[in-house]
Structure 1
């Protein structure tokens, strides 16, 4: 069987296959790159119908990354999927506290998820940062509560938690309340690879 082996050729061919699915959406070049990366990560062109970008999302993300911002993740899978070498070149780091023992104790004592407790622990560090949430709706709800009650202001929220309990609701709240620039997908779909893909798409716009 003949098949493509070169990594860059595989990526280029993938983007060529994805492109026709996006023509009806009349996206600009930057939005096309974000959509394409998300669809590539999911292997599902239907994502084109459910992706929602705040009008300032990409500009805000690029500005934050250029300034060397950090990225705060709800789960280790998101942090693992982010291109940390490129992020380091831009001056930032990716963090996740879901496995931190102190966070685990605080979550148990409060009767909340570890991802939720981790966002509380990050606190003011979220100001000017990118928050990438791919798994835990509770983390997304918590960040939006922090924005409302503590005036925390991330530069961008990539909020794409996956699942059947709270995922669709948390993303709908993000999309409709418009607390800060955001990238999200509506409904139950999403996940850590989607969050990482959206972040990586913006970093690749700044070079590799």
Structure 2
């Protein structure tokens, strides 16, 4: 049985299949993000539901090139992000959700671990937030911004689900911070990782 075995060739062929089916409604820098979201999910609807605010991709590239701290809300998103590339441009990435302090804070305050992890991230000077699973994490980030306790350079907010996911992303689009989000219930840790990967590949000028 004949099939493509080389991972780079598989990715290249995937993009060749996706490109002719696009409407090209986004800008040049946004297109690689759209492509990777579609490639990750197999869902062309991402071209229609992705929202970019305040030159988010350009801001993200600049932040990554300067070296920055990144936070993810899940280990799944953390695992899907190319950390070797991040290290090559002096960026660090953390996911505090399994930190003992997070367990303690969430229990004492009666909040989700995702919210407690954001609180710790806010204290650690995180520049880019990558949220793919927990609406409560995104709501918490927004609360910190409104309270003046957090000033992130970029928020990738694509939590998936039916309880608070769409609403948290709507709230994200209302605040004056560069962001990438999805409209509605779709998203996920895989999508969040794909978005950050697309931006970091642009930062190191890697081809699609």
Partner of 1:59: 58
4+ residue stretches of structure 1 with deviation over 4 A?
none
What SS does structure 2 have at the residue aligned with 1:98? helix
Report whether the alignment pairs 1:202 with 2:199.
yes
Partner of 2:100: 101
What SS does structure 1 have at the residue aligned with 2:169? helix
Q: Note the aligned Cα RMSD (angstroms).
A: 1.3
Contact 2:24/2:31 (<8 A) preserved: no
TM-score (norm 2): 0.94
Distance of 1:182 and 1:109 partners within structure 2: 31
Distance of 1:24 and 1:90 partners within structure 2: 30
Query: What's the CA shift string for 1:137-186, capped at 9, x where partnerless?
Result: 000000011000024111100000011110010011112x1331001111
Q: How does 1:11-160 map to 2 (within 5 A)?
A: 11-25=11-25, 27-126=26-125, 129-160=127-158
* Gapped regions of structure 1 (runs ≥ 5): none
What SS does structure 2 have at the residue aligned with 1:45? coil
Query: What's the CA shift string for 1:46-96, capped at 9, x where partnerless?
Result: 111111011410111001000111111111111111110000111011101
* Gapped regions of structure 2 (runs ≥ 5): none
Aligned residues: 205
Query: What's the CA shift string for 1:13-66, capped at 9, x where partnerless?
Result: 1111111232341x3322110100111111111111111011410111001000
Contact 1:72/1:126 (<8 A) preserved: no
Partner of 2:190: 193
Partner of 1:171: 169
Distance of 1:160 and 1:60 partners within structure 2: 18
Please, which moves more after superposition, 153-162 or 27-36? 27-36
Tell me how far 1:111 sits from its aligned partner: 1.1
What SS does structure 2 have at the residue aligned with 1:29? coil
Distance of 1:99 and 1:8 partners within structure 2: 33
